[in-house]
Structure 1
Amino acid sequence: MPSYQTIKDWPEEDRPREKLLGKGAQALSDAELLAIILRNGSAAAGASALDHARLLLNRFGGLKGVDEASVGELSSVKGIGPAKIAGIKACLELARRIAGQKWQAGEPLRSSEDVYRHFRESLGREKRELFYVVLLNNKNRKIREVKISEGSLTASLVHPREVYNPVIRESAAAVIFVHNHPSGDPAPSAEDIDITRRLKEVGDVMGVRVLDHVVIGYERFFSFSDKGML
């Protein structure tokens, strides 16, 4: 039976930390990034930090599951003690706070990625379907965001009158529509496509530019503008 090896015993190019420093964090898998947070494995269990990371991801169904797991659930995994759990929870909370930093009034819109980053934490885990309109001035700078509806996206809930009332009040020159899919899959439904088309037609008549409709899922999004569907 081969002897237990720590990550330090591996070739340097295979070690997660060295790989991150040499190639950047984006080059690492979820398991490798998690292994860096865990720092070390368990000689008693014959498992490296990467082994523990893979075990956690498999046990809880990926990063989302690890994030949502309680301290008690994480501690039930062999080799995962208080220090490792604290490190995991702290890193995930920092990521959540960065993602949740507010898109302040007056800040410019640069891309659909900006919209996604702003709404990811508030809508990415939301169990209800919410629809927002983001109001922009003629320089594509944010005025404010307005929640229009809660519940399944239907023509009755997202009526052009309700959507464009705040646009008129704020004299907005452009808008971005944003809503979430509680399923986590941001692919637009037939209803999404139809509502977007109708809202775009009304915007054209009113002289209001519809810049995008961004659908938020879990850790991903769909942009009507990026896909050439506006």
Structure 2
Amino acid sequence: MAREIYTTLPLKIHDWAPEDRPREKLLQKGAAGLTDAELLAVLIGSGTRNISVVALAQHILKSNGNSLQELAKRSVQELCRFKGIGEAKAVSIVCAMELTRRRACEPVNNRVLVNSSFKAYKLLQPDLTDKSVEEFWVLLLNRANYLIKKIKISSGGISRTIVDAKLLFRLVLDHQAVSLILAHNHPSGNTTPSTTDIDLTKSLKNAAQLLDVTVLDHIIFTDRNYFSFSDEGIL
């Protein structure tokens, strides 16, 4: 009786049952029926000679703590370090992550009312999520608290960013804003304001009053939550 010979080479996608292949599975069950690894595999498109595209996707996710938030922080260059991921595939992954961020807070119309710290936080999610350095942003509002424009003022290091008050208030005047909301992120994930954060807020608030402009809030942003100076009564 002939012995069966088992190969150590992994099965390729075309050797799988049709219902197990990510693309076919998506067409049959919809995107919600796929795992994170399978969705990533569809983006990647193909594996290598020694590893299937799903196994490659699982390896990439595992290397990022099985966290999509961590994966979203990876640059094209970082993704290209994985064997089987070239520049084109890395660009596809980065673009997919960016589209996800933008979709999260896309306004349903052009007039966005910002009348709470939570709305300000959600509005800034596409801009401040997954940042490895501090960035300082401002939301310029009209008299009815509708958004005129959101603008990045500066980008700095891991624990600090410099704010040019002259630039900030020139933008306020140029856009005829009557109120504004300050915001910056803490890459560390700690929402507690530093002494520098508190002093800067007071300084900008006092300068704004000279121009008859109101600082409504200062939001300290992290990927999971936020701190509002206004909500905490220290503005």
TM-score by length of 1: 0.58
Q: How does 1:56-205 map to 2 (within 5 A)?
A: 56-58=60-62, 63=71, 64-65=73-74, 67-69=76-78, 71=80, 73-74=81-82, 77=83, 80=84, 82=86, 85-93=87-95, 95-96=97-98, 107-109=111-113, 111=119, 112-117=121-126, 119-120=127-128, 124-125=131-132, 127=133, 129-145=134-150, 151=156, 152-153=159-160, 167=172, 172-181=177-186, 184-191=187-194, 194=198, 198=202
- Across the aligned residues of Structure 1 and Structure 2, the Cα RMSD in angstroms comes to 4.9
Give the gaps of 5 or more residues in structure 2.
1-5
What is the aligned residue count? 206
For the pair 1:210 / 2:209, whether they are aligned, the reply is: no
Identity value in percent: 23
Shift of 1:98: 7.7
Q: Distance in 2 between matches of 1:187 and 1:81?
A: 34
Q: Distance in 2 between matches of 1:209 and 1:173?
A: 9
Amino acid at match of 1:51: A
Change (3 A) 1:144 1:41: closer
In structure 1, the residue corresponding to 2:219 is in which secondary structure? strand
Shift of 1:136: 0.7
Q: Name which of 30, 45, 52 aligns with 1:48.
A: 52
Amino acid at match of 2:52: S
Shift of 1:51: 0.7
Does the CA contact (< 8 Å) of 1:188 and 1:222 recur in 2?
yes
Change (3 A) 1:52 1:162: closer
Amino acid at match of 1:35: A
Shift of 1:187: 2.8
Give the gaps of 5 or more residues in structure 1.
none
In structure 2, the residue corresponding to 1:56 is in which secondary structure? helix
Shift of 1:65: 3.6
In structure 1, the residue corresponding to 2:55 is in which secondary structure? helix
For the pair 1:33 / 2:39, whether they are aligned, the reply is: yes
Shift of 1:137: 0.8
Does the CA contact (< 8 Å) of 1:212 and 1:223 recur in 2?
no
Change (3 A) 1:70 1:201: closer
Q: Distance in 2 between matches of 1:139 and 1:9?
A: 59
Q: Distance in 1 between matches of 2:63 and 2:144?
A: 48
Shift of 1:210: 1.9
TM-score by length of 2: 0.57
Does the CA contact (< 8 Å) of 1:57 and 1:66 recur in 2?
no
Change (3 A) 1:96 1:145: same
Deviations 1:29-72 (A, max 9, x none): 2x332211223445x42x3211111223445775234634264x
Q: Distance in 2 between matches of 1:210 and 1:142?
A: 13
Q: Distance in 1 between matches of 2:150 and 2:12?
A: 50
Deviations 1:130-180 (A, max 9, x none): 3232211133333344555665559xx669999667657755343222213
Amino acid at match of 1:55: H
Amino acid at match of 1:143: I
Amino acid at match of 1:50: V
Does the CA contact (< 8 Å) of 2:137 and 2:152 recur in 1?
yes
Q: Distance in 1 between matches of 2:232 and 2:63?
A: 39
Q: Give 2:3's aligned residue.
A: none
Change (3 A) 1:91 1:20: farther
